[in-house]
Structure 1
Amino acid sequence: MRIAQVAPLYECVPPFAYGATERVVSYLTEELVRRGHDVTLFATADSSTAARLVPICERGLWRDTAVWDTLTHHVRQLARVADLANEFDVVHFHGDPLHFPLARSLPCKSLTTLHGQLLPVDHGPLFREFPSAPLVSISDDQRKPVPSANWQATIYHGLPLDEFEFQPNPASYLLFLGRFMPGKRPDLAVEIARRAGLPLKMAGKIHPGEREYFAQQIEPLLACSRDFTDYLGEVGGELRRQLIANARALLFPVEWAEPFGMVMIEAMACGTPVIAFGRGAVPEVLTHGMNGFIVDNIEQAVSAVARIGEIDRAQCRRSFEQRFTAERMAADYLRVYEQLLAGTRAALPAPHTGADAQLFG
């Protein structure tokens, strides 16, 4: 099959550090190539892939201090896709839905995976304007604001089996890893670690629009908790892998409708249990008592830290292998591609979730 993957241009593929969407695009692209498909990746020039690379800009736009208007580069990217569209059976878009008008006139099939939070006031009118645009959600919960859209499937993210190393003997620290934004509540991670009496390592991206939040809310908190909190900034590569693998537990105290939560399956791949608030996709990704604990508040999270030894890290790793591999993800997407080409809706197996597990109590 001739497949185009169209990545956002904010980071290279795969990203150096932060960039869950670009990371997923990389894992999917490489697995499709491994399976023998003819894959073209539209991405930044500093991306690394076994596929044919069509470079759009020199580097990730968030890494280029000369770039002000990121929209202009994505418009150029769509023009390149249109120019080459006759070469593909399917074009798979992963960025903002700028391509919807273009996709109507492409000489091939198209598919869009939505990676962010959906809002009825914004996405409802958009999907009503483009009711035939085939969409994939990354969790069932992500669909809830716009359930009537043209959903083809829910496909959970996946990682290569060898991307993260299983660590049966972790260190004693807790970990917060992710974007420093209000909805991810890094401040609650500090409070949970303080009450649990364990050191906390924190690492993640600070987006330009969230620098004021970090300066006003997080930096003072870090300053007064230096005795147990270690802030590492944004990390990537082997340092990031080791940081996740050696953590006693990953703290994920989200208070927004998290569409998926890539770091949770990265932790599971290492055997590192996750303690997460049961918002958004968390109950779909985690199985309570098997690969972590789903909690409702700080008090339950602190209790979960005390019980983290009840989680079998080997079983935690196995739960990743059973549900969240890149091989499974690619197979699911191929099924959707094939059904689009056949003119029918994909019939994927119902995803197993931890939603039926009893919450922490």
Structure 2
Amino acid sequence: MSPAMRFHVVNFPNTQTTKHYQPCAYTQKIRRFAIMMTELGHEVILYGGEENDAACTEFVTIVTKAEQAEWFGNTDLYTEPNNLTWKAFAPHWTTTNEHAITEIAKRKRDRDFICLLGGIYQQPIADQFPELMTVEFGIGYSGVFAQYRVFESYAWMHSIYGARSPADVMNTRGQFYDTVIPNYYEVEDFPFSDTKDDYFLFIGRVVEAKGIQIALETCRRLGVKLVVAGPGAAPPPELADYVGVVDHVRRGELMSRARAVFVPSLYLEPFGGVHAEAMLCGTPVITTDWGVFTETVQQGVHGFRCRTLREFCDAADAVDKLDYQRIRDDAVARFSLDAVAPQYEAYFERLTTLWADGWYTA
């Protein structure tokens, strides 16, 4: 068994580290990371709001509900978690960072890790503790600052490398102490069903960038039912089956019974958790042909990656022929906590060698 390591894990200022806040993918990554590392026998000090249901060694409140009410007013932080102001000097960031710094200072020990997912908005926490290693442990965003980084996909890692490098390909360098680890899920939240109902599903932010129009046009052309769930702008009037934001139980039910789940993101999706969740339910996915999907969706096995409306329609017609059990089994083997936890442990063990011989460790 590996020697125990110590992690200071800091949540965002606008949510609680509970399963209820599932519309915020990063909050869920934070709480599940705490669960994984705690269950492996490591010490996890988790810093966040007043509510927490994640296993950890110690939970420390650094933001109160009264402060959240002052900062965010009447915003529903459950249905609109992305209404966070992404400005470094906004009071919710500065105050929460200050509280985190104070509490970490009381508890820190030599060779602890600080684990953050707020990018440059949480950089002041890292700057205060240069003697500790700060790791951005699930990067699917562009405001990256840490020396040690875990990316959600190779597609996104390479995107970040390319964006920060000169045009000369020989100067686009990798970093040995970065890594790629996929997102990870509690399998029990995603029930398997080998019986599907007669509808397709789009679940996620109802915004153009997520490809909602592609799902609509495909289903309209085929004359099939599309159920839409998730936060965002008011849905188009043709969405007769818009069911709003759903909790994690209803989310699993909808995914498990759909013929397929559309995840046709128009941008380079760093991970796109919805598609992994759908596959955990044994449900095929229909995606675009770039970003993470090129790594996770085997064409004609887990679903289909498409580039034209004809291809999206052909995919929707073909999904019923796929092996739902194979989809489920492959997803559990790749995205379950049990599968991913050892990858994180191995990565942090690699980082501990930097306190000794580092890259030259025998």
Instruction: Determine if the TM-score, normalized by the shorter chain, exceeds 0.5.
Output: yes
- Shifted more, 63-72 versus 48-57: the winner is 63-72
Distance in structure 2 (CA, Å) of the matches to 1:80 and 1:274? 45
- The residue that corresponds to 2:59 in the other structure is 53
- The residue that corresponds to 2:217 in the other structure is 191
- Alpha-carbon shift at residue 279 of structure 1 (Å): 2.3
- Alpha-carbon shift at residue 64 of structure 1 (Å): 4.9
After superposition, the C-alpha distances for 1:53-82 in whole angstroms (9 at most, x for unaligned) are 111223595995268843234323442454
- Shifted more, 142-151 versus 91-100: the winner is 142-151
For 1:113, give the aligned amino acid.
Answer: F
- The residue that corresponds to 1:357 in the other structure is none
- The residue that corresponds to 2:79 in the other structure is none
- Alpha-carbon shift at residue 114 of structure 1 (Å): 4.7
Name which structure has the greater RCO, CA cutoff 8 Å, separation 6+: 1
Distance in structure 2 (CA, Å) of the matches to 1:149 and 1:15? 35
For 2:16, give the aligned amino acid.
Answer: C
Q: Aligned with 2:287: secondary structure? A: strand
Q: Aligned with 2:139: secondary structure? A: coil
- The residue that corresponds to 2:157 in the other structure is 143
- Alpha-carbon shift at residue 107 of structure 1 (Å): 3.5
Cα distance change on mapping 1:114 and 1:157 into 2, 3 Å: closer
Provide the aligned length of Structure 1 versus Structure 2: 322
RMSD (CA atoms): 2.6
2:188 to 162, 173, 196: 162
Cα distance change on mapping 1:310 and 1:143 into 2, 3 Å: same
Cα distance change on mapping 1:73 and 1:248 into 2, 3 Å: farther
- The residue that corresponds to 2:40 in the other structure is 35
1:91 aligns with 2:117: no
Q: Aligned with 2:12: secondary structure? A: coil
- Alpha-carbon shift at residue 98 of structure 1 (Å): 3.3
For 1:95, give the aligned amino acid.
Answer: G
1:71 aligns with 2:71: no
Give yes or no for contact 2:18–2:51 (8 Å, CA) kept in 1.
Answer: no
- The residue that corresponds to 1:271 in the other structure is 282
- Alpha-carbon shift at residue 99 of structure 1 (Å): 3.9
Q: Aligned with 1:299: secondary structure? A: helix
- The residue that corresponds to 1:330 in the other structure is 341
Distance in structure 1 (CA, Å) of the matches to 2:360 and 2:266? 32
After superposition, the C-alpha distances for 1:127-168 in whole angstroms (9 at most, x for unaligned) are 5xx6xx111111111122332474520010111332311111
Quote the sequence identity (%).
24
Give yes or no for contact 2:32–2:54 (8 Å, CA) kept in 1.
Answer: no
Q: Aligned with 2:269: secondary structure? A: coil
Distance in structure 2 (CA, Å) of the matches to 1:50 and 1:117? 26
Q: Output aligned runs, 1:249-328, within 5 Å.
A: 249-328=260-339
Distance in structure 1 (CA, Å) of the matches to 2:138 and 2:308? 29
- Alpha-carbon shift at residue 15 of structure 1 (Å): 4.5
Give yes or no for contact 2:63–2:96 (8 Å, CA) kept in 1.
Answer: no
Q: Aligned with 1:255: secondary structure? A: coil
Gaps of 5+ in 2: 76-84, 162-172
For 2:203, give the aligned amino acid.
Answer: L
Q: What's the TM-score, normalizing by structure 1?
A: 0.81
